[in-house]
């Protein structure tokens, strides 16, 4: 990059290469670790690539695609992932909105709420999983104890019952990540001008009506952002499920990303796993594109 | 799931100082580690170099009682080999362990010695992850065929050559509380358990125990323990005469659905007649026995220490012979020691590794106290072992031991155990009928078999 | 990786506190709101508090009464045992080293790239920008298999580089920098150039010193992200002494069954470094996130 230190700012030769030269280091990493792997994923999907043998392996044509699309397990993990997305996105958006609306009314003590709701967000998934595996433990966990106070005699095995496991993991995830949305909403609320409140109050609107008819509609854009970020994050769920249930019981919590991990690294079927990867990539890409379209529209409106 | 980046805000120089302080602290910590001898490890992190030649890394999947025994065996080795730096690591049993082992070998950083289940051996060996052992190398350390139990020794061979040194056989057995059995009238004059073989005799015995405990007759792990459910099914299915589940290394499904349905129907009977609870995890199943809420427990021999530590009166015997259609069978596996394929001979440390393996076998008595039937004949035939109680009461189970079906997706803690075990659980809990369960099991196995083998 | 439109400045804004003279209904509403909020905040603190409470109880007490909160005999035994038995010091060191390495590399490369995209003019600049923009939509985790294979063939598994390098191309970091650089007055750059400073010098001596907010925002978030990353180090690191804290905590087992006091002590130890970072940088982090968004 010696060429970039050309002394004159005018369009000398060095100048022409300055930009590309400074872009180069990042671009190399970008190509090697993102673009290259993406191309490899596309290619490997057409081969019987194995983790345990070198090279791409036998050409498979579209057989991986037909196998994946005809594999009940692929669809089940996708359903599980969507179920997790619903279970997390709905409370994470609504509850964080409610919490932010409430917290916004109090200037004093806000740091406390911010700490309580946001601190879990900085924890590693491993710590969150350790914590909740203990809370959800059979017979001796806090969660079973807690529902007993409410008169339930035989609480379910939170992580051992196929009907409850995903809900339990989603609840832990809500605890863990709500702070991010909470803070986004708090910021969105800062942009609601005081006068709006005052005008509505003079009109005789109670606090509840003001929130419902004035404040919430003004948070529309924040809600879009929060929702889409949440959906994308939830579609990529892996860590806490892998650690808490490893996809069980009876496969009821296995996510799409775990299917990739399992087929690719546990079973060593790289070709098949690449196909699943590409399909999951397409799903996430579509969600991202929807988001971009929404952003575009929002920008045009404003 | 949270790789989100926010925008910057106005500068706060003091924070920078704090951050710098944090980094300095981290550096100081690293320096302290270097001083304390971990430095070479950190340096390897940058260079990828191999650990020092006196170092022996050993991996195993043993926790609980097994883990404690294994630590004692390692201490015995350390005491005799002070110049070797033995480092052991324990990982979560099943797929996570084997995935780690595979990835470490692919990454040229395997441990020198590792424990594997012999049910996994064919897959690991075929994938080229194990070092083939030469008989003269083994003989140099006193490890010759005549000193090993024939069954696990045979199972340690792959392609006509040994690829592992067997340590034990560990069958799926029946634990029972002698005090409860006595009250239930299930002990004979000599204090031995009466005959509980046969479908009705076993359930009658469980029911008698239930009347004494007032809660349950027996227990077995059914929640979060697909492998245990697999073992129960696999034992009964073999007793019915179902034969194999898959053939051609897992490429073909040969499950006998009628036999599977019969075995499943019996498993369902256990929960339906309320002699065994259908919602207990591994720890819970043992706790039911040790707290006297169940008189029987179906579990692996390796739980002997866990039960013993509760200081209750108990005994063990082979799993009852429920069906008489075929020779006696009970699910079993063997632990064995292998040398994962190292990138070069220097990293393999063949003699150091084999010396360690020999030392482990010489500690077979310690291992046997944990419940396993030793593969090392000098121990198995010794008087000391034969006097071990209750170990000697179930030694015959090893004769009926059947290993998991051979398939690349099979073996200890494998996908096959999970898939079959999940189907069994759903029958056990009553969610699925035995016939539907057998059909599901066959369907799931077919899906697995249809996949191209990665090895 | 998620795309976030960002703004470089988050100025002070008025809070939307309720009007000056609240009426009765208002006061009631506020009281209910405050009560609800405090109850929920306390509920939110329960898991952490319970972990802390459990970790200082004697092991035997946890076994006999697992859901008890308070102990008459608080002890740090569990912490001592983890440090003695485990490889925790290694894991801390590895997490520090990989997080710092990744952060430094990301800050340098992303800011250089952003500077090139923001301030210099060259052919294909627009195309390069669009290509990077597209990269924001590539979820890194989906590429774990080829990334693993690439590092395997390069012989970098079980090294710090294996953990660090694939985490460096963080497109979002480039965008944060670019947003910030776009806001720098053009005259400042032009003046430096007129004084004969080369592009690299302009970047290093003029632009970077005034870009501390961007640098610290990227630093904090890359650091936290790498420290917390689980899936990637789980794949590339198999040597127990090379593991990062989250991977080590959850994959290396304790031989002695499930000692809950110890488990919770390790959870606390795993949480402390980042809770400390959070406590120190709370405002910065929160404002950083708050400034995020499509406004």
**Residue pLDDT, tens place only, A182-235:** 988 988 888 788 777 777 777 777 778 888 888 888 888 888 888 888 898 899
Nearest beta carbon to residue B422 from set A48, A237, A250:
A250
Task: Give the ranges where A152-246 is alpha helix by DSSP (H).
Answer: 165-190, 194-202, 207-210, 216-218, 220-235, 239-244
* CATH for the stretch B170-333+388-449: 3.40.190.10
pTM: predicted TM-score of the whole model, two decimal places: 0.87
Confidence check: pLDDT of A6 > 50: no
Q: Is A55:A40 a contact under the CB 8 Å cutoff? A: no
Q: Is A264:A51 a contact under the CB 8 Å cutoff? A: yes
Confidence check: pLDDT of A258 > 90: yes
Backbone angles phi, psi at B158, to 5 degrees: -145, 130
pLDDT score recorded for residue B189: 83
**pLDDT by residue (tens digit) across B276-300?**
999 888 888 998 999 999 999 999 9
Q: Give the bridge partners for B336, in sequence order.
A: B116, B166
Q: Which residue has the tokens 């000098």?
A: B378
Find the residue in A nearest to C250 (Cα).
A126
CB atoms within 10 A of CB A82: 16
Contact: B9, C284; criterion CB under 8 Å: yes
> How far apart, in whole angstroms, are the C-alpha atoms of residue C107 and residue A262?
34
| pLDDT bucket at B200, cuts 50 / 70 / 90 | very high
What CATH class is the domain C86-290? mainly alpha
Question: What is the bridge-based pairing of β-strands B55-60 and B85-90?
Answer: parallel
CB atoms within 10 A of CB C210: 13
Q: Is A288:C3 a contact under the CB 8 Å cutoff? A: yes
> How far apart, in whole angstroms, are the C-alpha atoms of residue C257 and residue B63?
6
Q: Closest Cα partner for B322 from B152, B182, B172?
A: B172
C101: tokens are: 């390495």
The mean pLDDT of B388-399, rounded to a whole number, is 88
User: What DSSP state is assigned to residue C129?
Assistant: H
Contacts of B437 (CB under 8 A, 6+ apart): B260, B261, B264, B423, B424, B426, B427
The mean pLDDT of B373-399, rounded to a whole number, is 91
B292: tokens are: 């006297």
Q: Is C211:C111 a contact under the CB 8 Å cutoff? A: yes
pLDDT score recorded for residue B315: 94
Confidence check: pLDDT of A75 > 90: yes
Chains linked to B by 3 or more Cβ pairs within 8 Å: A, C
The percent of residues in chain A predicted with pLDDT above 90, rounded, is: 44
Kindly report the average pLDDT of chain A as a whole number.
87
Contact: C120, A22; criterion CB under 8 Å: yes
B53-166+335-374, what's its fold?
D-Maltodextrin-Binding Protein; domain 2 (3.40.190)
* Position with higher pLDDT, B116 vs B44: B116
pLDDT score recorded for residue B343: 86
Long-range contacts of A196-205 (CB under 8 A, 24+ apart): A197/C16, A197/C18, A197/C19, A198/C19, A201/C19
The mean pLDDT of B376-391, rounded to a whole number, is 92
pLDDT score recorded for residue B26: 60
Find the residue in B nearest to C252 (Cα).
B91
Q: Is C196:A7 a contact under the CB 8 Å cutoff? A: yes
Contacts of B186 (CB under 8 A, 6+ apart): B176, B193, B194, B196, B205, B208, B209, B295
pLDDT score recorded for residue B18: 53
CB atoms within 10 A of CB C174: 30
* Position with higher pLDDT, A137 vs B277: B277
Chains linked to A by 3 or more Cβ pairs within 8 Å: B, C
Kindly report the average pLDDT of chain B as a whole number.
89
The mean pLDDT of A176-182, rounded to a whole number, is 92
The mean pLDDT of B72-97, rounded to a whole number, is 91
Confidence check: pLDDT of A112 > 90: no
3-class secondary structure, B166: strand
* Position with higher pLDDT, A106 vs C143: C143
The mean pLDDT of B354-379, rounded to a whole number, is 94
CB atoms within 10 A of CB B353: 26
State the smallest CA–CA distance between residue C202 and chain A in angstroms. Answer: 10
> How far apart, in whole angstroms, are the C-alpha atoms of residue A91 and residue A150?
22
Measured between beta carbons, the chain B residues lying within 8 angstroms of C240 are 87, 89
Q: Would an 8 Å CB–CB cutoff place A226 in contact with chain B? A: no
**What's the Rg (C-alpha) of chain A?**
25
For chain B, the domains span 53-166+335-374, 170-333+388-449
Q: Closest Cα partner for B370 from B355, B388, B387?
A: B388
CA dihedral A246, A252, A258, A264 (to 10 degrees): 100
* Position with higher pLDDT, A231 vs A110: A231
> How far apart, in whole angstroms, are the C-alpha atoms of residue B102 and residue B114?
11
Q: Is B179:B209 a contact under the CB 8 Å cutoff? A: no
Most confident of B6-20, B201-215, C42-56: B201-215
* Ramachandran class of B191: left when φ > 0, alpha when ψ lies in -120 to 50, beta otherwise: left
Measured between beta carbons, the chain B residues lying within 8 angstroms of C161 are 46, 48
Q: Is the dihedral of CA C133, C138, C144, C149 positive or negative?
A: negative
Hey, which residues 5-44 in chain C have their CB within 8 Å of chain B? Answer: 6-10
**pLDDT by residue (tens digit) across B295-333?**
999 999 999 988 988 889 999 999 999 999 899 999 999
User: What DSSP state is assigned to residue B366?
Assistant: H
Contact: B224, A248; criterion CB under 8 Å: yes
| pLDDT bucket at B9, cuts 50 / 70 / 90 | very low
State the smallest CA–CA distance between residue A165 and chain B in angstroms. Answer: 11
User: What DSSP state is assigned to residue C138?
Assistant: S
Long-range contacts of A63-72 (CB under 8 A, 24+ apart): A64/A271, A64/A272, A64/A274, A64/A275, A65/A275, A67/A272, A67/A275, A67/B450, A67/B451, A68/A272, A68/A275, A68/A276, A68/A279, A71/B447, A72/B447
3-class secondary structure, A239: helix
**pLDDT by residue (tens digit) across A234-257?**
999 999 999 999 997 888 999 999
Which of B7, B28, B71, B344 is best to mutate for the C interface (most C CBs within 10 A)? B7
CA A40 remoteness from chain centre: 24
3-class secondary structure, C200: helix
> How far apart, in whole angstroms, are the C-alpha atoms of residue B71 and residue B74?
5
The percent of residues in chain B predicted with pLDDT above 70, rounded, is: 90
Measured between beta carbons, the chain C residues lying within 8 angstroms of A222 are 293
Q: Is the dihedral of CA B379, B385, B386, B392 positive or negative?
A: negative
CA B136 remoteness from chain centre: 30
Q: Which residue has the tokens 């591994």?
A: B282
Q: Which residues of chain C have pLDDT under 70?
A: 1-23, 85-86, 255-258, 288-295
| Geometric angle at alpha carbon B195, from B192 and B201, rounded to 5° | 135
The mean pLDDT of B11-17, rounded to a whole number, is 48
Confidence check: pLDDT of B12 > 70: no
The CA-atom distances, in angstroms, between B349 and each of B74, B338, B345, B440, C105 are: 18, 13, 6, 47, 38
A277: tokens are: 């990867």
Contact: A207, C36; criterion CB under 8 Å: no
Instruction: Kindly report the length of chain B.
Output: 455
Confidence check: pLDDT of B336 > 70: yes
**pLDDT by residue (tens digit) across B120-134?**
999 999 999 999 999
pLDDT score recorded for residue A29: 94
Measured between beta carbons, the chain A residues lying within 8 angstroms of B418 are 248
pLDDT score recorded for residue C293: 40
Task: Give the ranges where C120-159 is alpha helix by DSSP (H).
Answer: 125-135, 144-153
Question: What is the bridge-based pairing of β-strands B168-177 and B296-300?
Answer: antiparallel
Q: Closest Cα partner for C171 from A125, A23, A231, A291?
A: A23
Q: Please give the interface size between A and C, counted as residue pairs whose CB atoms are below 8 Å apart.
A: 323
**pLDDT by residue (tens digit) across B161-195?**
999 999 999 999 999 999 999 999 999 988 889 99
The percent of residues in chain A predicted with pLDDT above 70, rounded, is: 95
Q: Would an 8 Å CB–CB cutoff place B3 in contact with chain C? A: yes
- Judge residue C38's burial from the number of C-beta atoms within 10 Å of its C-beta, 0-12 exposed, 13-18 middle, 19 or more buried: middle
B128: tokens are: 């080229």
């Amino acid at each position: 990059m010696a060429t970039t230190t050309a002394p004159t700012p005018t369009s000398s030769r060095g100048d022409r290469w300055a930009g590309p030269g400074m872009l180069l280091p990042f671009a190399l990493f970008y190509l090697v670790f993102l673009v290259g792997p993406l191309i490899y994923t596309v290619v490997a999907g057409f081969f019987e690539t194995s983790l345990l043998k070198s090279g791409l392996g036998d050409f498979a044509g579209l057989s991986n695609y037909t196998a994946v699309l005809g594999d009940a397990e692929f669809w089940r993990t996708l359903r599980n992932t969507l179920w997790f997305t619903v279970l997390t996105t709905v409370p994470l958006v609504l509850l964080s909105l409610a919490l932010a609306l409430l917290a916004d009314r109090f200037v004093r003590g806000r740091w406390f709420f911010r700490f309580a709701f946001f601190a879990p967000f900085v924890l590693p998934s491993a710590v969150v999983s350790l914590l909740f595996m203990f809370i959800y433990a059979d017979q001796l966990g806090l969660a079973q104890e807690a529902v007993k106070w409410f008169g339930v005699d035989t609480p379910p095995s939170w992580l051992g019952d196929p009907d409850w496991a995903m809900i339990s993991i989603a609840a832990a995830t809500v605890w863990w990540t709500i702070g991010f949305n909470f803070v986004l909403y708090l910021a969105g609320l800062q942009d609601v001008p005081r006068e709006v409140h005052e005008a509505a109050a003079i009109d005789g609107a109670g606090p509840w009506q003001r929130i419902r008819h004035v404040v919430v509609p003004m948070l529309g854009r924040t809600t879009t952002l929060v929702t889409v970020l949440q959906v994308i994050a939830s579609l990529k769920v892996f860590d806490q499920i892998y650690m808490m249930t490893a996809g069980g019981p009876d496969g009821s919590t296995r996510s799409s990303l775990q299917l990739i991990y399992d087929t690719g690294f546990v079973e060593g079927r790289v070709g098949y796993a690449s196909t699943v990867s590409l399909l999951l990539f397409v799903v996430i890409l579509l969600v991202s594109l929807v988001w971009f379209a929404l952003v575009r529209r929002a920008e045009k409106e404003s | 799931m949270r790789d989100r980046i926010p925008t910057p805000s106005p500068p706060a120089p003091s924070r920078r100082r704090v951050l710098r302080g944090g980094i300095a602290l981290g550096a100081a910590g690293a320096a302290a580690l270097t001083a304390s001898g971990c430095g070479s490890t950190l340096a390897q992190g940058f260079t990828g170099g191999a650990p020092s030649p006196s170092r022996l890394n050993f991996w195993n999947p043993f926790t609980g009682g097994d883990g404690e025994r294994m630590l004692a065996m390692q201490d015995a080795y350390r005491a005799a080999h002070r110049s070797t730096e033995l480092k052991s690591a324990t990982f979560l049993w099943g797929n996570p362990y084997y995935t780690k082992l595979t990835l470490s070998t692919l990454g040229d950083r395997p441990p020198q010695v590792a424990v594997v289940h012999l049910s996994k051996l064919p897959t690991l060996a075929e994938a080229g992850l194990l070092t083939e052992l030469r008989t003269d190398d083994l003989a140099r350390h006193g490890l010759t065929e005549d000193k090993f139990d024939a069954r696990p020794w045979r199972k340690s061979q792959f392609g006509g050559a040994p690829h592992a040194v067997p340590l034990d056989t560990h069958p799926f057995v029946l634990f029972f509380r002698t005090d409860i059995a006595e009250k239930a009238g299930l002990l004979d004059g000599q204090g031995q358990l009466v005959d509980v073989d046969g479908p009705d005799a076993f359930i009658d015995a469980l029911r008698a125990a239930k009347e004494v405990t007032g809660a349950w007759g027996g227990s077995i792990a059914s929640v979060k323990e697909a492998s245990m459910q697999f073992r129960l099914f696999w034992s009964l299915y073999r007793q019915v005469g179902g034969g194999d589940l898959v053939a051609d290394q897992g490429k073909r499904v040969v499950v006998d659905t009628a036999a599977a349905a019969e075995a499943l129907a019996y498993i369902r009977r256990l929960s339906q007649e309320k002699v065994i609870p259908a919602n207990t995890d591994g720890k819970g199943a043992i706790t039911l026995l040790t707290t006297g809420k169940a008189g029987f427990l179906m579990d692996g021999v390796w739980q002997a220490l866990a039960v013993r530590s509760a200081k209750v009166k108990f005994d063990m015997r082979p799993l009852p012979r429920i069906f008489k259609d075929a020779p006696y069978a009970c699910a079993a596996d063997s632990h064995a020691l292998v040398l994962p394929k190292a990138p070069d001979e220097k990293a393999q440390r063949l003699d150091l590794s084999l010396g360690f393996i020999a030392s482990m076998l010489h500690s077979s008595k310690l291992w046997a106290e944990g419940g396993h039937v030793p593969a090392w004949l000098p121990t198995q035939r010794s008087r000391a072992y034969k006097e071990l109680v209750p170990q000697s009461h179930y030694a015959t189970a090893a004769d009926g031991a059947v290993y998991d079906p051979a398939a690349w997706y099979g073996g200890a803690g494998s996908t096959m155990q999970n898939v079959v075990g999940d189907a069994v659980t759903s029958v056990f809990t009553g969610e699925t009928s035995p016939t539907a369960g057998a059909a599901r099991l066959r369907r799931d196995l077919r899906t697995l078999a249809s996949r191209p083998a990665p090895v | 990786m998620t795309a976030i439109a960002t703004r470089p400045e988050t100025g002070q804004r008025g809070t939307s506190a309720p009007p000056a003279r609240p009426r009765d209904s208002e006061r009631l509403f506020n009281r209910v709101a405050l009560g609800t909020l405090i109850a929920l905040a306390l509920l939110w603190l329960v898991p952490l508090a319970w972990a802390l409470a459990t970790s200082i109880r004697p092991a035997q007490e946890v076994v006999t009464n697992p859901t008890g909160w308070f102990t008459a005999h608080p002890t740090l035994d569990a912490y001592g045992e983890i440090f003695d038995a485990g490889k925790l010091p290694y894991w801390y060191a590895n997490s520090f080293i990989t997080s710092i390495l990744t952060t430094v590399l990301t800050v340098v490369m992303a800011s250089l790239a952003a500077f090139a995209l923001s301030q210099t003019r060259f052919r294909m600049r627009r195309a390069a920008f669009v290509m990077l923009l597209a990269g924001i939509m590539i979820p890194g985790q989906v590429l774990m298999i080829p990334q693993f294979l690439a590092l395997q063939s390069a012989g970098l598994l079980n090294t710090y580089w294996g953990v660090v390098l694939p985490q460096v191309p963080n497109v979002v970091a480039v965008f944060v920098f670019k947003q910030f650089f776009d806001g720098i007055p053009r005259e400042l750059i032009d003046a430096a150039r007129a004084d004969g400073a080369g592009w690299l010098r302009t970047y290093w001596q003029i632009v970077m010193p005034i870009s501390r907010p961007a640098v610290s925002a990227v630093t904090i978030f890359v650091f936290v992200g790498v420290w917390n990353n689980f899936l990637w180090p789980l794949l590339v690191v198999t040597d127990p002494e090379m593991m990062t804290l989250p991977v080590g905590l959850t994959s290396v087992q304790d031989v002695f069954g499930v000692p809950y006091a110890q488990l919770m002590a390790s959870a606390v130890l795993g949480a402390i470094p980042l809770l400390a970072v959070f406590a120190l940088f709370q405002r910065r982090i929160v404002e950083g996130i708050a400034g995020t968004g499509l406004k």
